[in-house]
Amino acid sequence: MSEWKSTACILCELNCGIEIKVGENNTIEKVRGDKNHPASKGYLCNKASRLNHYQNGRDRITTPLRRTNDGSFEKISWDTAIADIAEKLLEIKQKYGGDKLLYIGGGGQGNHLTGVYSSATRKALGAVYQTNAIAQEKTGEAWVFSQMFNAPMGRADFENAQVGIFLGKNPWQSHGFHQTRVILKQMQKDPNRKIVVFDPRRSETADMSDYHMAVKPGTDAWALAAMVAILIQEDWVDHEWMTQHTENYQQVRNLFADISVSEYCQQCGLEESTVRELTQVIKDAGSVAFWEDLGVQMNRNSTLVSYLNKLIWTLTGNFGKKGTQYLPSFIQPLLSARYDDSRRTPVSNARIIGGYIPCNSVTDEILTDHPDRQRALWIDCSNPVHSFADTQRMQQSMRRVELSVVTDIAMTETAMQADYVLPTANQFEKPEVSFFNFDFPHNVMQVRAPIFDAPETVLSEPEIHSRLCEAMGFIPEDVIDELNAVLDEKPEDFSKLFLAKAMGDKNLMKVAPVILYRTLGRTLDKGLEAISPLSAIALKYAMSNPQAVKDAGIEGAGLQLGENLFKALVGTRSGIEYSSEDYDASFKRIKRPGNKIELFIPELAGEIESLSKGSKTLSSDEFPFILSAGERRDYTANGIYRDNNWKKKDLSGALRMSPVDAESLGVETGGAVNVISSRGTQEAVVEITDRMQPGHVSLPNGGGFTNNLNTDKKLEKIGVALNMLTDSDSRDYLAGTPWHKYVPVRLETIQE
């Protein structure tokens, strides 16, 4: 008989609580929202109903594979795979140093236990460089947060905001905050609330908006600088609030005092009167929430835009109160908070932000003869050959290193280039947690139990990393025995003993996740063993935030509070609230003198000044169009669904263009064009729409996958592999984030 089981959707960072009706042969028969999830409360979007295409997806791999001399793959046993890889990793450590192993990935949209376990492998080997998708979207913004707040990242409270501003963000499709569509509809209906969208394209969210600021592609910096200038020149800033909470307004004032608002509005293609009106709306509103996303973060001037955006909300006092910006209380931060801003990569000297090297710098660190180049790659749950800029360079990098290992559930474009491919249990076949805990003032977390049995021949990432650490000799058996003995005889002493051991021995601390798995794990319910490192995370969180945990309803003091938090997390399938605070708790997390926000970032002053030189387009006679490469649509989900059949429409992922451009190219909807950039050519199907500005074209993410593992099947590729078109050198000068939304291209019609 089929039954409903609680888990989470793994398609985007929200990880909505869902219930799955299990069908025969490990299939997902139905999906519904889980009303008991404290944040999503039963919400789910159209994409989740298709999750069987993940559970029983295309290209699944079930045997470890090793590349042979002729480039093909041979099947090997797990014992051979672990022994081989352990030996090669130790060899690389000895020959070049552990810091020559570059780690990529570690948890996509919610399988973050992998990152916890891989930290054991990484730390034990001495690997220090890592990256993942965060370093191609959020690191510019994270750097700005570090400068102004000395905090890793912030969010905003749209549920309660009077005005919601979306910069290069299309939440109707991409979501981002819980119950997105419900909240957007509430905002739209309420005459006292406003939606504002900055987007060159008339997106679905722009359709609902009160102000659609249709900037010219890549010119947001001028629009936002004009708004900061209006606030300053009209003296519409909140002086009282700023005196209390910020520093160095005067220096900021000087930068904007002489900016010509009308000139800047012309540069970005907006009506000056509308920009002034909107700025006044922001000034007068009781609360304003801002969200900047890929449209600006993967675009020109991205770090500067992040700064200008934050200036608008700090100058108007929109922080630390209901309906405005906040700093969430992460149980485990996604980026290191107070990092060393002097850290750079060894070869290309790229800035390392929040602990991550820019995705766009990875190939620079490998495709070189520099003695400090990276010699090995370990990739968990990520498909960088497909998802990082410049597929060709990424492919070459995979082949150039002396060892590359990929763990995935599917034979991906990245796996195809690896030396070893390790097949893993998928997210419904193992316990998991997500560290995308962005909610505030009540923050939530959900521990997921497996719903299906994994194929017998695959392992989970926790098991893979644990076996590897054991094979490399990093796990002391006597400590495991001693801890297990305590668990058998006096379990209440376990936390104390574990902490004493880990604190007393640096090497032990490095592999703590594996130690906890092999000890505490035994005492957890079947299937949940690998959750055990969360106990240490819960202990640490409870010790540093006791009141927030108690206010969330967890009882106890000291170690007991942390243990109870862990028990509550492990014992509930629909997630719990782990932290409850007041709105002004955000101020506490500004780790600067007096908890004050630094308004002035000297490193960006020159950037602001150079805006006066105007916004030159990067289109040219050779490449006259600007391609936005990676639009989120109702049927795109990164690379999580590889099988195109999950889509109910837009199968090929159309290239959207304006009627004017279509006419001059002589192409109709459904017609084919070659999209040609400085790096490559991809064929696309056209969709004509008046949502696009002339000269601006848009392709979706989540397409263009190829598979040729099963040689009996025909090689198929549907849709555009975007990063065949992108150049890893096109990136922000400071954060190294890519300009995926600003790719100069030429279009050539293909005659049938």
Ligand X SMILES: Nc1nc2c(c(=O)[nH]1)N[C@H]1C(S)=C(S)[C@@H](COP(=O)(O)OP(=O)(O)OC[C@H]3O[C@@H](n4cnc5c(=O)[nH]c(N)nc54)[C@H](O)[C@@H]3O)O[C@H]1N2
- Binder to ligand X among 19, 157, 199, 607 (CB under 6 A)? 199
Task: Tell me whether residue 540 is exposed, middle or buried, using C-beta atoms within 10 angstroms of its C-beta: 0 to 12, 13 to 18, 19 or more.
Answer: middle
Q: Least distance in Å: CB of 344 to ligand X?
A: 23
- Give the CA-trace dihedral at 381, 383, 388, 392, to 10 degrees: 150
Phi, psi values for residue 521, rounded to 5° = -50, -40
Amino acid sitting at position 674? N
- Binder to ligand X among 393, 731, 741, 746 (CB under 6 A)? 741
Q: Is 175 in the site for ligand SF4 (CB under 6 A)?
A: yes
- Closest by CA to 244, choosing from 580, 545, 590, 582, is 590
- Binder to ligand SF4 among 5, 6, 7, 14 (CB under 6 A)? 14
Instruction: Find all residues with CB under 8 Å of 663, minimum gap 6, and list them.
Output: none
Rounded to the nearest 5 percent, the helix, strand and coil shares of the chain are 40, 20, 45
What is the distance, to the nearest Å, from the Cα of residue 122 to the centroid of all Cα atoms in its chain?
A: 21
Q: Is 11 in the site for ligand SF4 (CB under 6 A)?
A: yes
- Binder to ligand X among 84, 220, 419, 529 (CB under 6 A)? 220
Q: Least distance in Å: CB of 633 to ligand SF4?
A: 12
Q: Which among ligand SF4, ligand X, none contacts residue 590 (Cβ within 5 to 8 A by kind)? A: none
Q: Which of residues 29-68 bind ligand SF4 (CB under 6 A)?
A: 44-45, 47-48
> By rule CB under 6 A, what count of residues binds ligand SF4?
11
Q: Is 270 in the site for ligand X (CB under 6 A)?
A: no
Q: Is 632 in the site for ligand X (CB under 6 A)?
A: yes
Q: Least distance in Å: CB of 583 to ligand X?
A: 26
Write out the DSSP string of 516-534.
HHHTGGGGSPTT-GGGTHH
Q: Is 183 in the site for ligand SF4 (CB under 6 A)?
A: no
Q: Which among ligand SF4, ligand X, none contacts residue 201 (Cβ within 5 to 8 A by kind)? A: ligand X
- Closest by CA to 107, choosing from 473, 427, 503, is 427
Q: Is 12 in the site for ligand SF4 (CB under 6 A)?
A: yes
Q: Which residue has the tokens 């949209």?
A: 109
Q: Least distance in Å: CB of 537 to ligand X?
A: 19
Phi, psi values for residue 746, rounded to 5° = -115, 150
Q: Is 9 in the site for ligand SF4 (CB under 6 A)?
A: yes
Write out the DSSP string of 405-462.
EEEESB--TTGGG-SEEEEB--TTSS-B--------SEEEE--B---SPPPTT-B-HH
CB 148 within 8 A of CB 310: yes
Q: Which residue has the tokens 């304006």?
A: 658
Nearer to ligand SF4, 51 or 655 (CB): 51
Q: Which of residues 156-185 bind ligand X (CB under 6 A)?
A: 167-170, 173-175
CB 366 within 8 A of CB 400: yes
Candidate segments 77-85, 257-265, 617-625, 719-727, binder of ligand X by CB under 6 A: 719-727
Nearer to ligand X, 443 or 628 (CB): 628
CA 338/CA 147 separation, integer angstroms? 10
Q: How many other C-beta atoms are found inside a 10 Å radius of the C-beta of residue 392?
A: 15
- Closest by CA to 315, choosing from 367, 389, 251, is 251
Nearer to ligand X, 563 or 732 (CB): 732
Nearer to ligand X, 104 or 568 (CB): 104
Q: Is 411 in the site for ligand X (CB under 6 A)?
A: no
Q: Which residue has the tokens 């598979």?
A: 707
- Binder to ligand SF4 among 5, 6, 7, 16 (CB under 6 A)? 16
Q: Which among ligand SF4, ligand X, none contacts residue 150 (Cβ within 5 to 8 A by kind)? A: none
Candidate segments 6-14, 131-139, 514-522, 720-728, binder of ligand SF4 by CB under 6 A: 6-14
621 DSSP assignment: S
CA 548/CA 557 separation, integer angstroms? 12
Q: Is 380 in the site for ligand X (CB under 6 A)?
A: yes
Where do contacts with ligand SF4 occur on this chain (CB under 6 A)?
A: 9, 11-12, 14-16, 44-45, 47-48, 175
Binding site for ligand X (CB under 6 A): 12, 47, 108, 111, 133, 136-137, 167-170, 173-175, 198-201, 203, 215, 217-218, 220, 293-296, 299, 380-384, 387, 407-410, 412, 424, 426-427, 461, 628-632, 636-640, 698, 701-702, 722-723, 726, 740-741
